[in-house]
């Protein structure tokens, strides 16, 4: 797998904005887009230009100002959508239209109310109409994971012959499981036309909590592009999380051996920005970037990390841009962690003072979930004051 670079397609500004309650204005979208460039993504899906005038202007602004990164716009297989997307992207240095149409029987019957043949015709005509207007054409078969595999390959081959060079396999409703999705990607890879010149992409949702696992399985089986969002935000339960996919690849280089362009030291600041602008607070135990992701509470764990971080940390916090101390002080903390905390806070105490301070710390920790630096300062100041008073009493006694 080592010869194949992973193309990171970020859809935070499009699918991520479909998170209930999230609405990125033009300025917010541009701020995030600039940070995504610093992060090193290959493609920014800036929005859905035909969805609203506001989104059109936001996509247009990014396309005209963001620089060399590929800027994509989502479009239905409708001429008016394609025209709107062209107007939004025409001044981009590298433009991509992302055409989509549903292909599963349940979507065709109950949503679009058209036949397979009609969907096929719309897809092919749209790709032909878009040809020459954009630098790249990507086609997505919506609800691919619930689509008949033979029909899926048929529509992919028709759009490839019409000019699409990127085909996307979306697990739109998060229905797939890793082994099954891996087989689907392999099946598509083995049956498409012009496979040496076509990029296979995947887009996984998290309804069953398997978006990241499915994305990684797809990359193992030959997909070259992975669609992700920062912090995993998106429709319903969200999308595959950029930071989780990338750090899985990085942490397990021995297994995946997949190069990519992401500057991982920008991950934390990117997630923080998206969290602030979306209004979505990260759960404390969120993998990679949650506030507890690198915190150690148990004394045994703290002792191990103090001696060698690799005992309980499979990645380094500084590799994603975190530089703060993540020893969490509480009732399970041991003496080693306490003494390190004192040292980091600049205290130099005698052995007797440390013993007394540690006892007071333990007494407080039994009644408080987390003992913070201010609490420890009060404890130490009290110990120092008592020691000083005792010594003065001896002197004047």
Alpha helices per DSSP H over the chain: 26-39, 53-65, 79-89, 105-107, 116-130, 149-162, 178-191, 211-220, 242-251, 253-256, 267-278, 299-307, 335-344, 351-365, 373-396
pLDDT score, position 368: 83
Whether residue 231 is contained in a domain is answered as yes
Domain termination residue (choose one: 278, 313, 335): 278
Strand partners, 168: 140, 201
DSSP 161-220: HHT--EEEEEETTS---HHHHHHHHHHHHHH-TTGGG-EEEEEEB-TTS-HHHHHHHHHH
Q: What is the pLDDT of residues 303-347, one digit of tens each?
A: 676 677 677 678 989 999 987 656 677 787 788 888 887 888 888
Residue 234 shares a structural domain with residue 326: no
Contact 35, 266 (CB under 8 A): yes
Question: pLDDT > 90: what percent of the chain?
Answer: 73
pLDDT score, position 395: 46
pLDDT score, position 126: 99
Task: Tell me the residue range of the domain where 375 lies.
Answer: 299-396
Residue 201 shares a structural domain with residue 249: yes
CA distance 88 to 71: 10
Q: What is the pLDDT of residues 184-194, one digit of tens each?
A: 999 999 999 99
Q: Which residues of 363-395 are buried (b: 16+ CB within 10 A; e: fewer)?
A: ebbeeeeebeeebbeebbeebbeebeeeeeeee
Whether residue 215 is contained in a domain is answered as yes
Q: What is the pLDDT of residues 78-132, one digit of tens each?
A: 999 999 999 999 999 999 999 999 999 999 999 999 999 999 999 999 999 999 9
pLDDT score, position 182: 98
pLDDT score, position 33: 99
Give, as one character, the DSSP assignment of residue 283: P
Give, as one character, the DSSP assignment of residue 95: E
pLDDT score, position 384: 83
Residue 180 shares a structural domain with residue 213: yes
pLDDT score, position 218: 99
Sequence-distant (6+) residues with CB within 8 A of 301 are: 311, 312
Whether residue 291 is contained in a domain is answered as no
Phi then psi dihedrals of residue 236, to 5 deg: 55, -110
Domain termination residue (choose one: 249, 278, 307): 278
Sequence-distant (6+) residues with CB within 8 A of 310 are: none
3-class secondary structure, 141: strand
Residue 348 shares a structural domain with residue 261: no
- Computed over every residue of the chain, the mean pLDDT equals 92
Q: What is the pLDDT of residues 245-265, one digit of tens each?
A: 999 999 999 999 999 999 999
Between 11-20, 206-215, 303-312, the lowest mean confidence (pLDDT) is in 303-312
Q: Count Cα atoms within 13 angstroms, Cβ side, for 170.
A: 22
CA distance 98 to 10: 13
Question: pLDDT > 70: what percent of the chain?
Answer: 92
Whether residue 154 is contained in a domain is answered as yes
Residue 269 shares a structural domain with residue 390: no
Whether residue 284 is contained in a domain is answered as no
Range among 70-74, 314-318, 371-375 rated most confident: 70-74
3-class secondary structure, 240: coil
Q: Is the pLDDT of residue 390 over 60?
A: no
CA distances, 240 to each of 5, 142, 206, 249, 263 (Å): 18, 16, 7, 13, 18
Whether residue 290 is contained in a domain is answered as no
Considering the entire predicted model, what is its pTM? 0.85
CA distance 106 to 145: 12
Residue 102 shares a structural domain with residue 196: yes
Q: Is the pLDDT of residue 393 over 70?
A: no
Residue 322 shares a structural domain with residue 270: no
Q: Is the pLDDT of residue 181 over 80?
A: yes
Residue 180 shares a structural domain with residue 149: yes
Whether residue 289 is contained in a domain is answered as no
Between 141-145, 190-194, 247-251, 356-360, the lowest mean confidence (pLDDT) is in 356-360
Contact 29, 273 (CB under 8 A): no
CA distance 91 to 108: 35
pLDDT score, position 374: 80
CA distance 290 to 294: 8
> Confidence band (pLDDT; 50, 70, 90) for 299?
low
Please give the tally of structural domains in the chain: 2
Please tell me which residue, 169 or 376, carries the higher pLDDT value: 169
Strand partners, 70: 43
Domain termination residue (choose one: 278, 312, 343): 278
Q: Is the pLDDT of residue 296 over 80?
A: no
CATH number at residue 171: 3.20.20.70
Residue 186 shares a structural domain with residue 45: yes
pLDDT score, position 189: 98
CA distance 168 to 198: 10
Tokens describing residue 271: 């997630």
Give, as one character, the DSSP assignment of residue 312: T
Residue 146 shares a structural domain with residue 253: yes
Between 196-205, 239-248, 268-277, 306-315, the lowest mean confidence (pLDDT) is in 306-315
Whether residue 1 is contained in a domain is answered as no
pLDDT score, position 396: 45
Counting Cβ atoms within 10 Å, is residue 285 exposed (0-12), middle (13-18) or buried (19+)? exposed
Mean pLDDT, range 338-361, rounded to an integer: 86
Residue 133 shares a structural domain with residue 244: yes
Q: Is the pLDDT of residue 179 over 80?
A: yes
CA distance 358 to 368: 15
Residue 253 shares a structural domain with residue 205: yes
Q: Is the pLDDT of residue 370 over 90?
A: no
């Amino acid at each position: 797998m080592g010869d194949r670079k992973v193309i990171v397609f970020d859809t935070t500004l499009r699918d991520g904005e479909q998170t209930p309650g999230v609405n990125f204005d033009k300025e917010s979208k541009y701020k995030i887009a600039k940070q995504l460039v610093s992060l090193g993504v290959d493609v920014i899906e800036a929005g859905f230009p035909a969805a609203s005038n506001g989104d059109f202007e936001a996509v247009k602004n990014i396309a005209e100002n963001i620089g060399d990164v590929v800027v994509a716009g989502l479009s239905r297989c409708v001429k008016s959508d394609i025209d709107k997307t062209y107007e939004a992207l025409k001044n981009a240095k590298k433009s991509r239209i992302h055409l989509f149409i549903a292909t599963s029987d349940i979507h065709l019957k109950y949503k679009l109310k058209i036949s397979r043949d009609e969907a096929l015709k719309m897809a092919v005509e749209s790709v032909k109409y878009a040809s020459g207007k954009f630098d790249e054409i990507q086609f997505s078969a919506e609800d691919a994971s619930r689509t008949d595999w033979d029909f899926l390959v048929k529509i992919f081959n028709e759009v490839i012959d019409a000019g699409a060079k990127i085909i996307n396999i979306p697990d739109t409703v998060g229905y797939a499981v890793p082994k099954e999705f891996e087989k689907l990607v392999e099946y598509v890879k083995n049956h498409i036309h012009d496979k040496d010149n076509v990029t296979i992409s995947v887009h996984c949702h998290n309804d069953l909590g398997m978006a990241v696992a499915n994305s990684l399985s797809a990359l193992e089986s030959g997909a070259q592009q992975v669609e992700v969002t920062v912090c995993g935000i998106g429709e319903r339960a969200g999308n595959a999380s950029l930071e989780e996919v990338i750090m899985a690849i990085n942490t397990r280089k021995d297994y995946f051996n997949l190069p990519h362009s992401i500057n991982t030291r920008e991950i934390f600041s990117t997630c923080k920005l998206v969290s602030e602008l979306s209004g979505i607070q990260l759960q404390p135990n969120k993998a990679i970037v949650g506030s507890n992701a690198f915190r150690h509470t148990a004394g045994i764990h703290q002792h191990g990390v103090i001696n060698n971080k690799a005992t309980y940390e499979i990645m380094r916090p500084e590799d994603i841009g975190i530089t703060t101390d993540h020893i969490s002080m509480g009732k399970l903390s041991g003496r080693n962690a306490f003494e390190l905390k004192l040292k980091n806070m600049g205290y130099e105490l005698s052995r007797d003072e440390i013993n007394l301070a540690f006892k007071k710390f333990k007494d407080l920790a039994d009644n408080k979930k987390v003992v913070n630096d201010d609490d420890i300062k009060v404890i130490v100041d009290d110990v120092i004051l008592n020691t000083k008073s005792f010594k003065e009493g001896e002197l004047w006694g």
